[in-house]
Amino acid sequence: MDKDLLEILACPKCKGELRLSADETELRCAACRLIYRIEDGIPILLVDEAEPYE
């Protein structure tokens, strides 16, 4: 995942920071407790498709 892009990405729900997982397969918003998956190198940044986590 491109670092330049990561720098400006934000959670589509709260506009807060997203954190890239170590294996670069997902982005997490700690405030909303949501996981956005990265598919084929393209992040899917849709609130409706995000997975909640505990």
Positions touching other proteins (CB under 8 A) are 2, 4-5, 8-13, 15, 18, 36, 39-48
Give the residue with the Cβ less far from other proteins, 40 or 54. 40
How far apart (Å, rounded) are the C-alpha atoms in residues 52 and 54? 7
Give the residue with the Cβ less far from other proteins, 26 or 36. 36
In angstroms, give the least distance from the CB of 44 to other proteins: 5
Type of residue at 26: E
How far apart (Å, rounded) are the C-alpha atoms in residues 41 and 26? 10
Residue 32 has, within 13 A of its CA and on its CB side, a CA count of 22
Give the residue with the Cβ less far from other proteins, 48 or 54. 48
